[in-house]
Structure 1
């Protein structure tokens, strides 16, 4: 399997070094190496990119500003000489953070980390084979998730709720629990918004599976899941919109 990547850095030497590093990894295919975030936006519009190596301090707009304006992002590895940007980068859900000067050893370690995410979550990275249909709004819709060495097909109608477990998620269905290496954010993008709602940083629930709502808790079977302040308003609006007669 080959994964496409994009290098964005205004420094010619830094770009050249990253190009040399990318060339040493057989699984990586460099689509373009560009000096401008504005050029990067055009490349992302026209090409499927799996990984973007992105410098932070650039003219026109910064790497962080670029991330904030992109609606659909590849996995991002930030590259910079300034460590103070690390926290903000992780808040934007970047895959890794490389501090310049970047050694080959550190680059390879980062790439292996990112490739691990891509291999373990093919549907999140847009890597479902073409003969596997993804029909999010159909009654027979499903997703594929990695379970150990297997890809497991899960019918959306069977999902009760999803729990975030650091780098993993637990998917609770009517008859089993599947733990897969994937982020909540990546999985959430695969779920139809009219059927699933996030109620907490750690929980996404299926609307059809809710048995009761009691103050700040949602009951699904024997499970009582918290509704956090962050999602309280959106959850209330979701319920009002989808209740009978609403």
Structure 2
């Protein structure tokens, strides 16, 4: 993977250090600069191409929301804030993700993966990881130096796991290094439904639904609030 240039903007030094440390664990992230306010950040953006902008909202001089509105060529923006009430405004600006402080490293990875999916070309997936065609009832997944054939009827559900996708079948658990969105594209939409930003399920394997949970065998899969209406519609409850 090519180096991804990142810019951190937060008026709290500790918050900047945490994000910088998180970035340091992912060798493809290159922290170009770490700024304490929007004006410093604007100067960096004028000189250097930035791919991902980690941006606090509640800052002196100019808040993060106002700052984004001044940008013509926006990088992928991941808001980092202690205030959840700004979420609607953030997503109105097409923010890639919204991290509520304090956030864990695994939640940070999920946000970064979302950003990478926006500008990573989704080519060569068939040749690198998977072979098969839409007319068939199976796919092949390569992981751990082996190639596994997965019948659609054996696939229970899949879960996003950072740079990986956890695949649960009737008799196996696979963890290929593949973005979750790429794996989802390989599955027929008529059979597999998105229930949450991190989960996709085999519709035919649903045991029952209770509240915001789907039960498949002994597994509980969450239903995200943004996905519930579409899920019920897909199941015939419009």
- In the alignment, structure 2 segments of 5+ residues that lack a partner are 127-180, 182-238
Q: CA deviation at 1:113?
A: 1.5
3-state SS in 2 of match to 1:26: coil
Q: CA deviation at 1:148?
A: 6.3
* Superposition map of 1:68-107 within 5 A: 68-107=69-108
Alignment length (residue pairs): 126
Partner of 1:149: 125
3-state SS in 2 of match to 1:77: strand
Partner of 2:64: 63
* Superposition map of 1:230-241 within 5 A: none
The separation in 1 between residues aligned to 2:57 and 2:100, in whole angstroms, is 11
When normalised by structure 2's length, the TM-score is: 0.51
Q: Tell me, yes or no, if structure 1 residue 26 matches structure 2 residue 27.
A: yes
| RMSD value, Cα | 1.5
The separation in 1 between residues aligned to 2:124 and 2:97, in whole angstroms, is 23
Q: CA deviation at 1:79?
A: 0.4
* Superposition map of 1:70-219 within 5 A: 70-120=71-121, 146=122, 149=125
Q: CA deviation at 1:117?
A: 1.7
Partner of 1:2: 3
3-state SS in 2 of match to 1:6: strand
- In the alignment, structure 1 segments of 5+ residues that lack a partner are 121-145, 151-180, 182-246
When normalised by structure 1's length, the TM-score is: 0.49
The separation in 2 between residues aligned to 1:55 and 1:76, in whole angstroms, is 10
The separation in 2 between residues aligned to 1:36 and 1:3, in whole angstroms, is 22
Q: CA deviation at 1:27?
A: 1.1
Partner of 1:51: 52
The separation in 1 between residues aligned to 2:23 and 2:76, in whole angstroms, is 15
Q: Which runs of 4 or more aligned residues in structure 1 lie more than 4 Å from their structure 2 counterparts after TM superposition?
A: none
Partner of 1:11: 12
The separation in 1 between residues aligned to 2:15 and 2:47, in whole angstroms, is 24
